[in-house]
Structure 1
Amino acid sequence: MSGTGWFEPSRPIRVEGGIRARSTRGSIGERWWSRRFVDILERVCDKGRLGRGRSYARSGQVLGLEIGPGLVTARVQGSRRTPYRVRVGIAAYDAGQWRDLTVALAAQALYRAKLLAGEMPPEIEAVFRGCGLPLFPDQRGLDMDCSCPDWGFPCKHLSAVLYVLAEAFDDDPFLVLAWRGMARDALLAALREAGGGAADDAGGAGGPGLFDVADTPFADRLADFYEPGVSPARLRERTGLPGTPPDLLLRALDPPPLAARRVPIPDLLRPAYQTLAESDDA
């Protein structure tokens, strides 16, 4: 963006077929991952331009949003006849980094199951941090540019695109990961492979399944049928099972159709469950 200090008139040219934000008032972003993204933006960006960007997003001024590895592109109709070109870039992780992330995610059975079911577990941020890779960018991790002459950063056109992007994340959480360089289908295939695959679970061609047990006649097992499969000495050497997450019930049950300030109830209750678990351990 140029530094001329020129500002376009406040009334943009109305367009048909633009991407109109569903939110008509208050904050934009309904799910925890989109709210996380918006909260970061609203902490680091100019509040005035973010406000004008929300108005642009709600008026349908954003055209042709495209999300790819490391880059979001869009056009935004302002007061000039030609729409402005907007780009928002972040670091897309390479194959080696995604291999580490996939292994870390697959190692957590519950997170793997949620992702395979199309859900984004809140703990995924901790998995990314454990690999030294942030899931969401801060202002320094965003490479933003707009063809408009407004020297403010981000301008209202960029802000509008960021809010529309947050609602796109609402619709499909895997777009967050696609922006970081891993498409949904590729990630799910990698998780299935790391966990043995759907064919394994069903006892298919991928290998022995969960319920594949050798069919040995009972007469051949009379001598050792009641013996443990592992010696008592080996059992004593084994470590204990990992503790149950305090918010397991919140994860397992369907969330109620309620929200407070557009934040889902389970996200509000999760810290309380954690506190109760810590007090119980004390």
Structure 2
Amino acid sequence: MPMYGPARPVEGGLRARSERGTIGEEWWSRRFIDVLESFADKGRLSRGRAYARKGQVIDLKVDAYEVTARVQGSEAEPYDVAIGIDAIDEPTWTAIEEALASQAVFRARLLAGEMPPEIEDVFGAFGIPLFPGASGDMHLMCSCPDWGEPCKHTAAVLYLLAEAFDDDPFLILAWNGRTREDLLASLRRLDSADAAAEADPLEIEETPITERLDDFWTPAAVRDRPPAPPMPPGLLLKLLDPPKVKVRRKELTDVLRPAYEALSGLDEAEQAE
């Protein structure tokens, strides 16, 4: 392993709040650090923590699917660090947002700026890890000559990234492709759409009584009611089962049909029509 001189001091560098022990306080940042410490070289991690606590990281920026930073080492020029993750396609993000909006507890906690632990399960249902689960889930790059993954410069950035997650859990989602503003706007839009769908579809528009004075006292049952079509003669005989009664060997319905036709005032020609 190459030997390097002491790191050059940085004025105004980013410095970890934790002065000893573990870095990361909230469950989400600890989950992130636990993954990192499960596969990384312990020596490089130790030197990375020292860099993070000494303020060797000059700047750090979280964008969709990539974190970039500059870290001052022993050389005159700082090293460039980039930490990438795989992108989530737009249809999958839309489905994730709909799943989050469908659960009132998720919607309420996210709108309140909190990160519900169950959010990991929502992402997992779509085969998407909210946090990198292994070294292969992150693409670690540093301009230093150390080929370790992570090198101490990248490790320092990862530790400071965990503390940034402590301060703002929405940075995790921003790294995964959705800013706080975009996500909350989608949740509010989906919530409004659900509320509109649940509204009573039978709302009746009221008409002022001054516009209905002409027909106000008309009985509601007959107001503007179209005339009923005439009932065909013998309809009742067709609907009911014929009784087991015969008159001179004829079915009772056949005997009654002429009487129905006569009472209707229609002759045989009119019946044929």
Q: TM-score, normalised by structure 2?
A: 0.70
Deviations 1:46-102 (A, max 9, x none): 111101100000000001101101100000000111001101000121211110110
- 1:211-259 CA distance string (max 9 Å, x none): 9x97999xxxxxxxxxxxxxxxxxxxxxxxxxxxxxxxxxxxxxxxxxx
1-side partners of 2:104 and 2:130: how far apart?
20
CA distance in 1, matches of 2:2, 2:90: 43
Deviations 1:123-174 (A, max 9, x none): 0001100111110112111000111111322110010000000001011000
Query: d(CA) in 1 for partners of 2:28 and 2:178?
Result: 17
Counterpart residue number, 1:78: 73
Quick one: distance in 2 between partners of 1:112 and 1:18? 36
- Asked if 1:19 corresponds to 2:35, the answer is no
Which residue number in structure 2 is paired with residue 272 of structure 1? none
Question: How many residue pairs are counted as aligned between the two chains?
Answer: 205
C-alpha displacement at 1:209, in angstroms? Answer: 9.0
> The residue matched to 2:48 in structure 1 has which SS?
helix
Work out whether 1:163 is the aligned partner of 2:134: no
Query: Radius of gyration: which is bigger?
Result: 2
Any conservation in 2 of the 1:7–1:150 contact (CA below 8 Å)? no
% identical aligned pairs: 56
For residue 67 of structure 1, the aligned residue among 51, 58, 62 is 62
Q: 1:85 to 1:196 in 2, by over 3 A?
A: same
Separation in structure 2 between the aligned mates of residue 106 and residue 208 of structure 1, nearest angstrom: 14
Which sections of structure 1, spanning at least 5 residues, go unmatched? Answer: 202-206, 218-282
The list of structure 1 runs, each at least 4 consecutive aligned residues, that deviate by more than 6 angstroms after superposition, is: 208-211, 213-217
Pairwise CA RMSD: 2.3
Q: After superposition, what is the alpha-carbon deviation per residue over 1:170-219, rounded to whole angstroms, capped at 9, x for unaligned? A: 1100000000101110000111111117xx97xxxxx58989x97999xx
Instruction: Give, in whole Å, the separation in 2 of the partners of 1:35 and 1:214.
Output: 52
Structure-to-structure mapping, 1:97-136, within 5 angstroms = 97-136=92-131
Q: Pick one of 170, 173, 178 that aligns with 1:177.
A: 173
Report the counterpart of residue 140 of structure 1 in structure 2. Answer: 136
Taking structure 1 as the reference length, what is the TM-score of the superposition? 0.68
**Residue in 2 that maps onto 1:39:** 34
- Report the 3-state secondary structure (helix = DSSP H, G, I; strand = E; otherwise coil) of the residue aligned with 1:169: helix
AA of the residue aligned to 2:156: A
